[in-house]
Amino acid sequence: MINPLASFGIEFRDPSLLDRALTHRSVGRHNYERLEFLGDALVNAGVALLLFRAHPRNSEGELTRLRASLICESGLADIGRELNLSDHLRLGSGELKSGGYRRDSILADAVEALIAAVYLDQGWEACQALIEALFAKRVGLAGMDARKDAKTELQEWLQARALPRPEYTLVHSVGKDHDKLFYVECRLPQLEIKAVATGRSRKSAEQDAAAAALKALQAPKDSNANEQSARV
């Protein structure tokens, strides 16, 4: 099995850990689910440490918000795509046919499982070094001023008015796996607002769509239109 972490200088002493980390439950009992459970905790701790050091002036609430934005499913899935995990995952025939190797949930789980495999194989120091390599750039881009992201702002605006959460839909994507462009729609049905945005990741496209929806909320309504639309 090809090691997707070889470029980070990681060679597994126990190759069975790598094999399990890349095996979905659809294959059988020996899958990554237990590793994913451990990896979730390790990623939380490792990213928390990175943020604590990188943002010494930020409050607990701001750090918590930043961590959530970094380790959400779509964020972890983006890392999985950067590691080309779609080419290495072992999936059952049903998952293969349904395109499971592209699914955010599976890619995110596999990233966490890989991190746990490194921890079990080589200890915390190597595990933290990998987390730093995977997340350092993202931590720097997470917003030094810790402002709320557009999705959070939009959701809080709606909650304050007892309105349903926004609906995010992947309209389509174009390009090869390593160079995709995602088209995402953010829809607020009760307010008759929808916004479509593009991004190099689904996460960034959702953020831009949420920002466009917020902008539409602030714009005067067109009395002649049944639905306001925004596109970025």
Mean pLDDT by 10 residues, the chain (232 residues): 90 96 91 96 96 86 86 90 91 81 88 98 96 87 57 89 93 82 93 91 88 82 48 58
What pLDDT score does 230 carry?
A: 60
DSSP assignment string, the chain: ---TTGGGT---SSHHHHHHHTB-TTT-SSSSHHHHHHHHHHHHHHHHHHHHHH-TT--HHHHHHHHHHHSSHHHHHHHHHHTTGGGT-B--HHHHHTTGGG-HHHHHHHHHHHHHHHHHHH-HHHHHHHHHHHHHHHHHHS-TT-PPPHHHHHHHHHHHTT-PPPEEEEEEEES-GGG-EEEEEEEEGGGTEEEEEEESSHHHHHHHHHHHHHHHHHSPP-TT-SSEEEE-
Yes or no: say if 180 and 171 are a contact pair by the CB < 8 Å rule.
no
The domain 150-231: what is its CATH number?
Answer: 3.30.160.20
Active site residue 73: no
What pLDDT score does 145 carry?
A: 41
Instruction: Please tell me the total number of residues recorded for the chain in this structure.
Output: 232
Amino acid letter, 191: L
Work out the burial of residue 79: count CB atoms within 10 Å of its CB; fewer than 13 is exposed, 13-18 middle, 19 or more buried.
buried
What pLDDT score does 184 carry?
A: 95
Prediction pTM value: 0.63
What pLDDT score does 41 carry?
A: 97
Amino acid letter, 61: G
State the Cα–Cα distance between residues 49 and 128, nearest whole angstrom.
Answer: 9
Q: Which of 40, 78, 185, 206 is catalytic?
A: 40
User: What is the number of alpha carbons within 13 Å of residue 20 lying toward its C-beta?
Assistant: 21
List, in order, residues 6 or more apart from 113 with CB less than 8 Å away: 20, 21, 22, 32, 35, 36, 39
Active site residue 177: no
Q: Which of 78, 104, 112, 149 is catalytic?
A: 112
What pLDDT score does 50 carry?
A: 92
Portions of the chain given CATH number 3.30.160.20: 150-231
User: What is the number of alpha carbons within 13 Å of residue 221 lying toward its C-beta?
Assistant: 10
- Fold classification of 6-141 is Ribonuclease iii, N-terminal Endonuclease Domain; Chain A (1.10.1520)
H/E element, 199: strand 193-199
Give backbone dihedrals phi and psi of 66, rounded to 5 degrees, phi first: -65, -45
What pLDDT score does 226 carry?
A: 39
Portions of the chain given CATH number 1.10.1520.10: 6-141
State the Cα–Cα distance between residues 117 and 113, nearest whole angstrom.
Answer: 6
State the Cα–Cα distance between residues 50 and 195, nearest whole angstrom.
Answer: 34
